[in-house]
Every structure is written in structure tokens, then in C-alpha cells.
Structure 1
């Protein structure tokens, strides 16, 4: 490795906020031209920490399921904070053994170390108070807990 790259700063991950999203039963759209598509409605939830906001009902996670069961996460929802509304986007991957994925599909609680569930977290908003959130990269470590998805969002510093 060249010395040039050795001089680059090492990223740090700083906990920023915790998110709880209440989800409804998935709607299976079958195998489309893109692959096996499932849409999970977002019913509400809460963001707590550096960002405090209420998640509104009406968003969705448009999942694409690979032949090996790996789920591509593509969620979008609206949250409302004191300074105004925010559009939240998460994109990521949930993967695990057939047995673990089946248990998660049944709504069972599974140790989050038994599967891989990571997403990015993006914020779009008009209020100037949110400008810092829009200039920052975030990643999240997630878990599915029955009808809830919980994740801790980390700022990449």
C-alpha cells in the first residue's frame, strides 16, 4: 500500500440516534421483471437521539428477495420533528441462514448476531436545522423484532 493512502484519515463511527419502525404484514408481489418483490408497509415509529422525530404511517420498504433468501432493503418514509418534516431513505441488506430467515419471516425474535442486517440512512429536508444531517453519511446496524424494525444509526466521522 502506498504512503499516500496511509495518510488518509481512518473513519470513526459515532452513535447518532436509535430508530424503531412499526411495520405491517408484507405484501408479496411475486416474481417481477426485477426479481421476487415484497412490499412492507410502514405504520409509524420513533427516532430518538441527536434527531428526535415521529415516523408517520404511509411509507414502505420495497424489498427484493434474491434466490438465496437475501433481502435487498429499499425503504422510504416520512418523519416529523419540531423543526419540520424529513424524508428518510434506508437501503441495505438482510441475510442469514434459511432457518434464521424463516424464523424472522414468522415474526420470531432472533438474536441479531445470527444474521446480517445493515443499512444506510439518508435524510432529506427543507428546514435549515437539518442541513448537517444532509451533509453526513450514516450507516445502521438493524434487527427485526416481530412487527418492529429497530436500528442504531451511526454517523461516519
Structure 2
């Protein structure tokens, strides 16, 4: 596995993967930016930079997250939430076929190893509130605002 660290508007982002795909993308407040980007991570770095620059709304590099079968199912469900849209944990549970699994869905959502790319930040509370986010609610708010640019109202 190769790892690189890049600077983003939300902190230092770690990207880890190999020829089988990207396994981890995470963010922290501290860290040292890598001088070199391993070849197998270059496309992910480029696409993440494009996302932060407002030039990209989806990702198409190969993913290889590690998780249980249920977690993988939830993460695939997250990939279906369109850019600029949100859904609730309840909506996601229903979509996955088991309304009673809402807590398990929320738990799997919280263990998502692919920050931004598997868009767990797009899942909100049923009442529209910004609920738990491993990267901090301020990052979740930033990401949702980044993906939903406000349109300026006309004065006339």
C-alpha cells in the first residue's frame, strides 16, 4: 500500500491505496504534505483537487475499501446519493431494504473509510439537521455548502 498526504481546504488529507484501488481517504487537522505522490495515487489526488476547485462532481478512480459485507452495502448506497443532494439515515435504511437497520446503517456510515468520495457527508437527520460526522460537523457543513452553491437572487 502507498500513502500520500495533500493539503485541502479542510485539512491534511491522507490517501492510501495500491493497484487494486484506493482503500482510505481521511482528513485531519495536522500532518505533513507529501513531497511526492506515488503513481497509483495520482489520479485520486487529481480528482480530489478538482473537486475542491469546483471542477468535479463525481469520482471515477478505482475504490477498494475494507469492511464487512453490510458496510460495503451501505457504502454502495451512499455512492447513489447525487452530488448536491442529501438523504436521511431513515431514507437510506429504507432504500437498503430494512427500516429497522437505521442504527446499523448510521454505524456503517460512520466507518466509511473513503472521505468525500463515498459521500457520507450527504446523510442528514430526518429533520434536516446536520447529525454526527467523524470529520467534525463544520467539515460536513462546508462540504454540503460546497456542493450546493447558493444562487444569487435577482433584485428585479
Query: TM-score with structure 1 length normalisation?
Result: 0.22
> Which structure has the highest helix share of the two?
2
Q: Which has the larger radius of gyration?
A: 1
TM-score, length of structure 2 as denominator length: 0.22
More strand by share: 1
